[in-house]
Amino acid sequence: LPAAAVHYSGLWIGEARPADEHAGDVPTNPIRWSLSLGGEGGLSAFGAGYFDDAGDVPGTPVLFFALRGHFRPEDAAVELVKTYDPLVLPDGPVVEYRGRLSEAGGRPALTGT
């Protein structure tokens, strides 16, 4: 990725595979995130998304979540925390992602766990 570019925003599409130690317990999930990476200090990564097949929450086929965290342009490190809509899941799980921004097929890509 160009060293001068420190802001990346868009619709990120892919999949989240669980860490090896959770591979038997946690399914691979599709990713469709609206995500922005950039800035310095404080909150430098933020976004949101939803599942439209949230069958694990009765009566709630659509489940929204927020993404927040940090992006370090100097080493392309990305740390995100995903939290679910507190009105639907007040004690919902918190999911942590750690990865790196890279390039795949001429486009920005996130890899990690």
pLDDT digits over 26-52, tens only?
777 788 899 999 866 678 999 999 887
**Which portions of the chain are predicted below pLDDT 50?**
none
Determine the residue type at 54: A
What pLDDT, on the 0 to 100 scale, is given for residue 55? 56
Give residue for tokens 């404080």.
Answer: 42
What pLDDT, on the 0 to 100 scale, is given for residue 62? 82
Cα separations in angstroms, 109 against 24, 32, 57, 112: 26, 13, 30, 10
In degrees and rounded to multiples of 5, residue 21 shows phi and psi of -70, -15
Reduced to 3 states (helix: H, G, I; strand: E, B; else coil), residue 9 is strand
Cα dihedral sign, 39-37-9-103:
positive
Q: What is the DSSP letter of 46?
A: E
Determine the residue type at 89: L
Q: Which residues pair with 30 in a beta bridge?
A: 15
What pLDDT, on the 0 to 100 scale, is given for residue 1? 54
What pLDDT, on the 0 to 100 scale, is given for residue 71? 93
